[in-house]
Amino acid sequence: MSETTSFSGNKGLQIEEKLIFEMGNPGAVAVDLPEPGPVDLDRMGGVRKRADLALPDLSEPQVVRHYTRLSQKNYGIDTGFYPLGSCTMKHNPRLSEKVARLPGLADLHPFQPRQTVQGALEVIDQLAWWLKQLTGMPAVAMSPAAGAHGEWCGLMAIRAAHEDSGQGHRRRVLVPESAHGTNPATAAMCGYSVDPIPAKENGRVDLDALKAKLGPDVAALMLTNPNTCGLFESEIIEIAAAVHGAGAYFYCDGANFNAIVGRVKVADLGIDAMHINLHKTFSTPHGGGGPGAGPTVLSAALAPFAPVPYVVSGPDGLELVEGRREGTKPFGRVKGFHGQFGVFVRALAYILSMGADGLRQASSDAVLNANYLQARLGDVLTPSFDGPCMHEALFDDRFLKDTGVTTLDFAKALIDEGYHPMTMYFPLVVHGALLMEPTETESKEALDQFIAVVRGLAEKAKAGAAEDFKAAPRHTPRRRLDETLAARTPILRWKA
Amino acid sequence: MSEMRFTKDHEWIKVEGDQGTVGISDYAQHALGDVVFVEVPEPGRTIAKGDEAAVVESVKAASEVYSPVSGTVTKGNQAIVDQPGLVNESAEDGAWFFKLTLSDPAELADLMDRAAYDAYLATLE
Amino acid sequence: MRYLPLTESDRAAMLADIGVKDVDALFRDVPAAARLAEALPLPRHQGELEVERAFTRMAGKNLSAGCAPFFMGAGVYRHHIPAAVDQLLLRGEFLTAYTPYQPEVSQGTLQALFEFQTQVAMVTGMEVANASMYDGATACAEAAIMACRVTKRRKVLLSGSLHPHYVETTETSLRFTEMEAEPLPPDPLGLEDLLGRLDGDTACVVVQNPGFFGGIRDLRPLAAICHELGALLVVMVAEPTSLGLFDSPGAMGADIVVAEGQSLGMGMNFGGPGLGLFATRDKFVRQMPGRLAGQTLDVDGKRGWVLTLSTREQHIRREKATSNICTNSGLCALAFSIHLTLLGGTGFTRLAELNHAKAVQLEQKLSQVKGLRVLPDSYYNEFAVHLGDEVKAAEVVDRLVDKGILAGVPASRFYPTWPELAPVLIVAATEMNTEDDMDRLVAALKETLS
């Protein structure tokens, strides 16, 4: 090892931290609870009292220090620039956290009588109103818990609508090759088979190929727009017409809605259903992988099939509909209770803060920032497509040809420069993809610094410094980890 | 033993009498990267040509192994289940996936010989 | 606008660098017919003060649980959450990180998930757990699907002890597939005949313990029959603090344990987000849905963690994936884990005993109410009560709201077409309930029911 090692293994602020199971001291407490008295065994249904729990005992300072140290081994959007394409890492406002913690919103039980939760129902109703206004769609199913869950909700509504109109034999779903993996996985969960459709040279759906695939057995097209290459599907209106002409529905994956909020109403594009990732477009925290929320807007044709529950306005104020009502044919229920309420509060706080003008400015700035990256990096990296992009810029690895440096190496070198890498190797339709999404959160100054670093790295790679790239990252709490070992000999929990 | 014959999905088969041995090509193991998991068929299973017969996974990719011919499985290779890395070391030799009794040897005629397979690989990139 | 750093002069300079006149030019691929020329005619942006005021107004229209004697459960429970939990969750490195795709800069999230997986496996008595699902209901549905995959069978038997939302979510998930859900009627007295419904087509039986109406059952006989017939036993735990009191589902023979984790670390939040816990046996790990953190070494030989076994997942397997799930419920899993770490083994056991003791105390006090019967003869911290043949529990709940009491959850909310359940009220007691709360409930019930 080239660097000096310390006795502790620590490196200044980078402190080694054991697992909680390797720490504890039996009898320590971090929560003082009253003495419960002897257990009433008569009420335990003949089941024995448990004696095999081996959880460690720690005190509060030990626990606080443990998680603080763990947090210091993470990179978040609060830490720095996080250009992870297709994931939309934008600033998470702290006001949203504050209002989500108001006891009048946080300390509510989902089954409280409705006269005691009118304000909570108003939050759901107001957010639904905004989502409908921003998309131009007549209805929204609020309960899906995440993007993939919203996709499933949309496709279930489509399947239910087809079953209802005697079109249940439609079992094929068309999905572009560039689609996110959740699209085909979702289609399969609804009993559909998946038929890939090719893209044209310019990265958009090949309309003629799509038309050739349409037929009486096609249930839906699933299309991401702007698509996973960061491009707007310029023929989307013709695509919608062709899909509808064949008796199928048009599902739009709304993962990239953040690029067009306030600039396009998706209803004008002819879509029938689209999920909205509140954690992307409306800036609720990603939390290291959830919780998110994926409300799904629906056309008039699909609205009757929306799942329960939903909020309606009645003579005594707002109420929740939890079962079948006249004139509706809900396809079922997608999760427990009433949706990701805590996420709704945060998303609505963001929307009210931004307003119609701010939301439009945010999508404009996001697109401007991405195009700025593409323009300033286009000569040293290799952009995959010509012309303006939307909210993310896609490059491939041609610029690394014959350098011995891979996309992965390049990304790991960025970590040593203090950046979170861009998305790598997705979408699959370009070789060695590097997908950069700066979002509206980054200032020009931050982008200029990043551009200088990427240019420097690209030139360094071309100058022949492959070994340096292979050794990156050097300055992280852990260097490259052996994923092969992890998969060949899975260790998925600590054992004594 | 007969010469090795290949499919476009990168399986190979070697046949002796009506007994076939099936594996994946060196090109396929290289494309997958470090193999971390393998699933082989149970003896006695009847499979048709083109059926999914086995599974091979690397860290970042998963692939089905399709049977090049129809027949009845006589043996799966437990060694590669226990040590998936063998597939990277000797894909076209010791790291075979399964053996089967062919039900229609005429199907072999549809497969490529080494030269034809090499020519096919050259068209891929 | 406070979240947007670009100034007009920045924008002008950037447009010049790109070589376009204005931002509209960057949207030229949008069909002209769909382009909006200006912002939608909706409310404009607002300052923190105005937005906070709007939420304070909406919050003020609710009766928050802390302002009333509170006895509600039925799948969401009110517990005391140590102050440290929320303070740690608010650390930006946890709050504002994405899924840990880049392990070198995500060791915090990954180690926390590895600890979480271990804790979940320990408390459920299972061998392995995933990094979490959306909530208990979706975890339940995924367990049913996984059982069909493992057994290559298609029938899923859903006990009447199962929360109706879990039943509905599972039925919906199987609706357009080859699999079939067979729900049993609601079972407030724990009398259903599950064994008689099992056959060679049954992929799994899903039971909830403690049940929706509160009862606890010894699962050993059921596990034995399931295994004899080649079916899996799926055990749903709606109240995870109960795992501190009696034998774990794993010890009683469960093959898959799913749970709603909300009770630990998270608060009620009007029912969402939740936290789906999912645990199983090692031999089924490749059939399990959801993210997994695993231990490995880095190039210097130091122990670290990565996401692993991802070939089961949608981004690689696409239409052949075990599930379409893409994320977990990361921050909620962290909250659960921090709360459980703070409790430790000693505190977790004590919390469970305390909850049980509170419920026993509540039962004793409720026995003073004439005409009221407690239905299950065993329970953890919750049980169904029958208020009398002519009484409608939903009306009683409304009348108790007028007295400032949130009395419980009427069964009719879930079973509106079952008249025999109209008098049934589900009440829960946790460490949050004081003796005074209970006395107020009993007094109000006496008054209302007389």
Q: Is residue C77 over pLDDT 90? A: yes
pLDDT band for position B12 (cuts 50, 70, 90): very high
- Supply the pLDDT for residue C169: 98
Instruction: Please give the pLDDT value at position A194.
Output: 95
- DSSP at C249: T
Distance from C-alpha of A316 to C-alpha of C115, rounded to nearest angstrom: 48
Nearest-angstrom CA–CA distance, A91 and A88: 9
What is the percentage of chain A residues whose pLDDT exceeds 70? 99
Which of C390-417 are b and which e, b meaning 16 or more Cβ less than 10 Å from the residue's Cβ? Answer: ebbbbebbbbbbebebbbbbbbbbbbee
Residue A39 to residue A56: CA distance in whole angstroms: 22
Give yes or no for residue A327 having a pLDDT over 90: no
* Mutation for testing the B interface, residue in A488, A489, A491 having most B CBs under 10 Å: A488
- Cα(A332)–Cα(B119) distance, integer angstroms: 54
DSSP A50-119: P---------HHHHHHHHHHHHTTB--TTTS---BTTT------HHHHHHHT-HHHHS--TTS-GGGBHH
Residue-wise pLDDT tens digits, C368-419: 999 999 999 999 999 999 999 999 999 999 999 999 999 999 999 999 999 9
Q: Are residues C285 and C379 in the same domain?
A: no
Last residue of a domain, one of C307, C339, C371: C339
User: End of a domain among C318, C339, C360?
Assistant: C339
What is the distance between the alpha carbons of residues A294 and A252, in angstroms, rounded to a whole number?
A: 13
Q: How far is CA B22 from CA A80, B13, B63, in A?
A: 51, 4, 15
Contacts of C320 in chain B (CB under 8 A): 62
Q: What is the pLDDT of residue A51?
A: 85
Do C317 and C380 fall within a single domain?
Answer: no
Task: Give the span between the Cα atoms of A10 and A6, in whole angstroms.
Answer: 6
Q: Where do the domains of chain A lie?
A: 17-32+53-73, 96-351, 357-485
Give the residue-averaged pLDDT of C109-122. 98
Nearest to C327 among A28, A290, A494 (CB): A290
Contact (CB<8Å) B62/C286: no
Please write the tens of the pLDDT for every residue from C57-74: 999 999 999 999 999 999
Counting one residue from chain B and one from chain C, the pairs whose CB atoms sit within 8 A come to 15
Q: How many CB atoms lie within 10 A of CB C80?
A: 12
**Is residue C70 located within the same domain as residue C174?**
no
**CA gap C402, A236 in Å, rounded:** 55
What is the rounded CA–CA span in Å between residue A275 and residue A151?
6
Q: What is the pLDDT of residue A4?
A: 65
- How high is the ipTM of this complex? 0.98
One-letter identity of residue C275: L
User: Is C352 within 8 Å of C244 (Cβ atoms)?
Assistant: yes
CA of A349 vs chain B CAs: smallest distance (Å): 39
Structural contact between residues C312 and C324, judged by C-beta atoms closer than 8 angstroms: no
Separation CA C223–CA C254 (nearest Å): 7
In this prediction, residue C324 carries a pLDDT of: 83
Q: Are strands C232-237 and B71-76 parallel, antiparallel or unpaired?
A: unpaired
Give residue A2's pLDDT: 46
CB A329 within 8 A of CB A167: no
**For residue B2, what pLDDT band results from cuts at 50, 70 and 90?**
low
pLDDT of residue C17: 97
- State the Cα–Cα distance between residues A104 and C258, nearest whole angstrom: 30
- The mean per-residue pLDDT over the stretch C319-330 comes to 83
CA distance A334 to A147: 13
Query: What whole-number distance in Å separates Cα of residue C273 and Cα of residue C364?
Result: 34
DSSP C183: E
For residues C253 and C364, membership in a common domain is answered with no
The pLDDT of residue B119: 94
Residue C291, C-beta contacts closer than 8 angstroms, at least 6 positions apart? A289, C99, C113, C130, C131, C132, C307, C310, C313, C325, C327, C328
Query: For residue B72, what pLDDT is reported?
Result: 96
Measured in angstroms, the CA of A460 and the nearest CA of chain C are apart by 22
SS3 of residue A188 by DSSP = helix
User: Radius of gyration of chain C from Cα atoms?
Assistant: 25
pLDDT tens digits, A146-163: 999 999 999 999 999 999
Does the pLDDT of residue C190 top 90, yes or no? no
Which residues on chain B are in Cβ contact (under 8 Å) with A483?
59
Q: What is the DSSP string of C373-427?
A: EE--S--SSEEEEE--TT--HHHHHHHHHHTT-B--EEGGGT-TT-GGGTTEEEE
Give the end of a domain, one of C285, C316, C339. Answer: C339
Sign of the dihedral through C-alpha B31, B32, B38, B43: negative
- Give all chains having 3 or more CB-to-CB distances under 8 Å with chain A: B, C
**Helix (H, G, I), strand (E, B), or coil: what is residue A120?**
helix
Under 8 Å CB pairs connecting chains A and C tally to: 703
**pLDDT confidence tier of residue A224, bands split at 50, 70 and 90:** very high
- Provide the mean pLDDT of chain A: 95
Distance between CA A338 and CA A75 in Å, rounded? 32
Shortest Cα distance, chain A CAs vs residue C200, angstroms: 24
Would you say residue B1 has pLDDT above 80? no
Any domain includes C26: no
Q: Which two tokens stand for residue B77?
A: 């290779």
Whether A3 has a pLDDT exceeding 60, the answer reads no
Number of Cβ atoms within 10 Å of the Cβ of B71 = 27
CB contact under 8 A, B61 and C311: yes
Q: At A369, phi and psi to the nearest 5?
A: -60, -40
Residue C351 has its nearest CB partner, among A33, A145, A260, at: A33
Residue range A328-337: mean pLDDT, rounded:
97
Strands of B52-58's sheet, edge to edge?
B35-39, B52-58, B62-66
42-61 in A: which are within 8 Å (CB) of C? Answer: 43-50, 52-58, 60
**Geometric angle at alpha carbon A474, from A472 and A477, rounded to 5°:** 120
Look up the domain containing C104 and give its range. 85-339
Query: What is the residue type of B93?
Result: D
Q: Tell me if C415 sits within 8 A of C421, measured CB to CB.
A: yes
C410 phi, psi to nearest 5 deg? -75, 135
DSSP summary character for residue B41: P
Interface with C, mutate which of A22, A75, A183 (most C CBs under 10 A)? A75
d(CA A36, CA C349) in angstroms, rounded, equals: 10
Q: What's the gap between Cα C379 and its chain centre?
A: 20
Considering chain C, what is the average pLDDT of its residues?
A: 96
Average pLDDT of A333-359? 98
Interface contact C45-A357, CB threshold 8 A: yes
Give me the CATH code for the A357-485 domain, please.
Answer: 3.90.1150.10
Q: Which residue is closest to A194 within chain C, CA to CA?
A: C319
**What integer is the mean pLDDT of A395-413?**
96
Domain limits for position B28: 5-124
A476 with C104: Cβ contact below 8 A = yes
Amino acid of residue B34: D
Among A71, A390, A391, A448, the strongest candidate for a mutation testing the C interface, having the largest count of C CBs within 10 A, is A71
pLDDT at B59 over 90: no
The answer on pLDDT for C280 being more than 80 is: yes
CATH of the domain at B76: 2.40.50.100
Closest partner residue to A148 among C92, C105, C325, by Cβ? Answer: C325
Phi-psi region of A339 (alpha: psi -120 to 50; beta: other; left: phi over 0): left
C175 in the same domain as C93: yes
Which CATH number fits the domain that encloses residue C89?
3.40.640.10
Pick from A88-92, A479-483, B115-119, C322-326: least confident: C322-326
Question: How far apart are the C-alpha atoms of C23 and A84, rounded to whole Å?
Answer: 23
Bridge pairing between strands C256-260 and C232-237: parallel
Residue B82's pLDDT band (cuts 50, 70, 90):
very high
Query: Quick one: closest CA in A to C295, which residue?
Result: A491
The closest CB to that of A73, out of C108, C135, C332, belongs to: C108
Residue A94: the pLDDT is 97
Q: Supply φ then ψ for residue B37, to 5 degrees.
A: -155, 140
On the question of pLDDT at C180 being above 90, the answer is yes
**Nearest chain C Cα distance for residue A216, angstroms:** 19
Contacts of C406 in chain A (CB under 8 A): 109, 112, 116
Q: From CA A299, how far away is CA A302, in angstroms rounded?
A: 5
Tokens of A67: 């998680």
Most confident of A4-18, B46-60, C167-181: C167-181
Alpha-carbon distance values, C341 to A51, A478, C132, C216, C303 (Å): 18, 24, 17, 26, 21
CB atoms closer than 10 angstroms to residue A313: 10
Kindly determine whether residue C316 and residue B37, on different chains, have CB atoms separated by under 8 Å: no
Torsion angles phi and psi, residue C49, rounded to 5: -60, -45
User: So what's the pLDDT on residue B84?
Assistant: 94
Q: Could you identify the residue written with the tokens 């002890």?
A: C161
Whether A145 and A168 have beta carbons less than 8 Å apart is answered as: no
Give residue A395's pLDDT. Answer: 97
Q: Average pLDDT, stretch C281-290?
A: 95
Asked, as a colleague might, if the bond just before A427 is cis with ω within 30 of 0, I would say yes
Q: Which chain A residues touch B34 with a CB distance below 8 Å?
A: 484, 488
Mean pLDDT of A296-314: 97
CB contact (8 A) between residue A487 and residue B59: yes
Domain check: are C172 and C306 in the same one? Answer: yes
Residue of C nearest to B58 (CA): C311
DSSP assignment letter at C162: S
Q: Do A290 and A146 touch, CB atoms closer than 8 A?
A: yes
Using an 8 Å CB-CB cutoff, list residues of chain B that contact chain C: 37, 57-62
Question: DSSP character for C297?
Answer: E
Decide if A477 contacts C104 (C-beta within 8 A).
yes
**What percent of chain C stands above pLDDT 70?**
100
**Best mutation target, B38, B39, B57, to test chain C (most C CBs within 10 A):** B57
CB C86 within 8 A of CB A98: no
Any CB–CB contact under 8 A between A71 and chain C?
A: yes
Residue of chain B whose Cα is closest to the Cα of A483: B59
Same domain, C125 and C197: yes
Strand A139-141 with A296-298, pairing = antiparallel
Mean pLDDT of B56-83: 93
Mean pLDDT value of segment A65-76: 98
Alpha-carbon distance A485 to nearest alpha carbon in chain B (angstroms)? 8
Give the CATH architecture of domain A96-351.
3-Layer(aba) Sandwich (3.40)
Q: Give the count of domains, chain C.
A: 2
Give the helix ranges, DSSP H, for A274-387.
278-281, 341-377
The number of C-alpha atoms within 13 Å of A362 and in the hemisphere containing its C-beta is 27
The CATH number assigned to the domain holding C380 equals 3.90.1150.10
pLDDT of residue C208 exceeding 60: yes
DSSP-assigned states of every residue in C111-154: HHHHHHHHHHHHHHT-SEE-S-BS-HHHHHHHHHHHHHHHHT--
Q: Is the pLDDT of residue A1 over 50?
A: no
Cα–Cα distance measured from residue B85 to residue B37, given in angstroms and rounded to the nearest whole number: 9
CB B32 within 8 A of CB B56: yes
C-proximal residues of A, 228-247, CB under 8 Å: 231-232, 234, 236-237
Mean local confidence (pLDDT), A446-461: 98
